[in-house]
A and B are shown apart, each in its own frame.
Chain A
Amino acid sequence: MADGILVKDLNAWFGTLHVLRDIGLAIAPKAVTAIIGPSGCGKSTFIRCLNRMHEVVPSARVSGTVLVEGANLYAPGVDPVEVRRKIGMVFQRANPFPTMSAFDNVAAGLRLAGMRNRAVLNDAVERALTHAALWDEVKDRLDKPGSSLSGGQQQRLCIARALAVEPEVMLMDEPCSALDPIATAKIEELILELRKDLTIVIVTHNMQQAARVSEATGFFLLGELVEFGVTRELFTNPRDKRTEDYITGRFG
């Protein structure tokens, strides 16, 4: 027990705008959980609450409990910087550091944690890039800027950068929305590979993607969690009328 992520009574605001209302759900460990919903439903805000990134925006506020491995991220005294070191995040647009080489991008997290030993860094970078299925494509140009790679490679570089610090959880905020179908397929393959070791939460616009990669899916609408359950059941036999309307394309 106490594995995975347990969310209770999670509320989030931007100023006075109440963007998440009383969210509660249990995210299984070493599995992929997809979050779907129309634009503005709060799904991005939701995963940004799982590594305390929401509060980075001025005037943003959170209340509630998020237990990761049994420890509450929002307990008083918890350092958000520490939280973000253990929970990796990949963003909608690939955002490698353009002034750093591919190697330095992947090593950035370890260097932040104080690692200076070159041999350890070499090892960790190779492991992370292999894990992110990028090693073979970039091993000959590790010294080139990360931004010289293609869009799909950049996104995998960002995944490698997040993997290098060996997080327990990986949050992905629409990681494929700026990619072509082939690059998307590669990332999806990678997600299926990564779930052997990691708890993955992925926000996606693409319902087919949610169906392809996830075991559990949550449907958000207007800041509320409408339905949460096993992916196949949610898509074939939704309990809520609104879920059915959304997945059959009646809105959103």
Chain B
Amino acid sequence: MTTAAASRSLSSAVVSARARRGWGDRLFRGLARGAALSLILLVTAMIIGMAGAAMPSFRAFGWRFLYTSTWDPVAETFGALPFVYGTLVSSLLALVIAVPLGLGAAIFLAELAPVWIRPPITFLVELVAAVPSVVFGLWGIFVLAPWLRNWVQPALGASLGFLPLFQGPPYGVGMLAAGIILAIMIVPFITAVSREVLLAVPNTQREAALGLGATRWETTRIAVLRYGKSGLIGAVLLGLGRALGETMAVTMVIGNRPEVAISLFAPGYTMASVIANEFTEATSDLYLGALIEIGLLLFAVTVIVNALARLLVWSVGGAVKQVRE
């Protein structure tokens, strides 16, 4: 056996191994592409199917559906404004409460807390994220709502009652309760993601600030939070996405009244809640069409919010991206 023959047989083995691998590559690429395409197909099919089912409502109300507030199944007059309003306001309220809380907890866990205490607290935070939403709803009805009715709302009405936000009779259930429940539900998400973002900030950044004579808080502010800004916005938007689509807990505490009311004490209704509450009663094509159109609207609102979020992340993330190149 000469070396030439040996090298020939070796090279032919390499070639055939390459050919085998090429085949595997093609299969893998085909599977991955198929998976991606099937997702796009699925979403398209969903939109087409829903648009088809919503057609009676499109025909009957046109654009009026978006800005009228009458929701009368008996007269078959439908307008979605109270639901859009309820979804946006309850989610916004949730963000106002949850962002400072969630970011604060994340800063504590990533920057300030003694090392030994971090894992148990992180675990607890993740545990809250795992509680089913119906449990939050139950707690909302039996604990949160009476507490709001008996203590918080009278106090708010007495102190801040000059604002239209805090006027009217204290029902307990209503927009405020929904916002608070949603806030509690999204805090763990905001905390968990923000914590990861903060931990990913390189230590050299902290040292740069400390070396200049920054205090702990100043270091967090100028080196850590600014560096992680785009990731933190992402964390908040993840929370917002969840708040917009949350159904069960909100349905149980928001009061389910299709009205646009400025006061946070008043009952409201959200898009997800009305779909969950009324789909069994929707016997006519028009009623069902109106509910499905609300579903499409909810989908559109989520897409718009996510698109805005992306733009925001890009616009603030520009500076950081340049470094990493």
Residues of chain A touching chain B, judged by Cβ–Cβ distance below 8 Å, are 51, 53, 56, 58, 81-86, 88-89, 91, 93, 95-100, 108-109, 112-113, 145, 147-148, 158, 161-162, 165
Contact = CB atoms under 8 A, between A and B. Distances in A.
Given A93-B204, A145-B322, A84 B213 contact: yes
A51 B208 CA distance: 13
A95 B205 CA distance: 6
Contact of B226 (A58, A85, A97): A97
Contact of B319 (A82, A93, A99): A99
Nearest to B321: A98
19 contacts: A56-B206, A58-B115, A84-B211, A85-B212, A85-B213, A88-B212, A89-B207, A95-B202, A95-B205, A97-B205, A99-B227, A99-B229, A99-B319, A108-B212, A109-B212, A112-B222, A147-B323, A148-B323, A165-B213
Interface in B199-238: 202, 204-215, 218, 222-223, 226-227, 229
Contacts of B322: 98, 145, 147-148
A191 to B, nearest CB: 17
B207 A95 contact: yes
Contacts of A165: 212-213
A213 B223 CA distance: 32
A162 B323 contact: no
A86 to B, nearest CB: 8
B96 interface: no
A39 B53 CA distance: 71
B207 A81 contact: no
A96 B218 CA distance: 16
Contacts of A97: 205, 208-209, 222-223, 226-227
B160 interface: no
A75 to B, nearest CB: 18
Interface of B: 114-115, 202, 204-215, 218, 222-223, 226-227, 229, 319-320, 322-323
B213 A113 contact: yes
A99 B213 contact: no
B321 to A, nearest CB: 9
Nearest to B116: A58
Nearest to A105: B208
Contacts of A85: 212-213
B210 A53 contact: yes
Q: Which of A56, A82, A84, A98 has the most CB of B within 10 A?
A: A98
Given A98-B227, A98-B323, A99-B319, A162 B212 contact: yes
A192 to B, nearest CB: 22
A86 B204 CA distance: 20
A100 B212 contact: no
Nearest to A57: B203
Contacts of B114: 58
Contact of B211 (A58, A82, A91, A145): A91
Contacts of A99: 226-227, 229, 319-320
Given A81-B214, A89-B207, A95-B202, 20 more contacts: A53-B210, A56-B210, A85-B212, A85-B213, A86-B213, A88-B211, A91-B208, A95-B205, A97-B208, A97-B209, A98-B319, A100-B226, A108-B222, A109-B212, A112-B214, A112-B218, A145-B322, A145-B323, A161-B208, A161-B212
A81 B227 contact: no
Nearest to B212: A109
B110 to A, nearest CB: 13
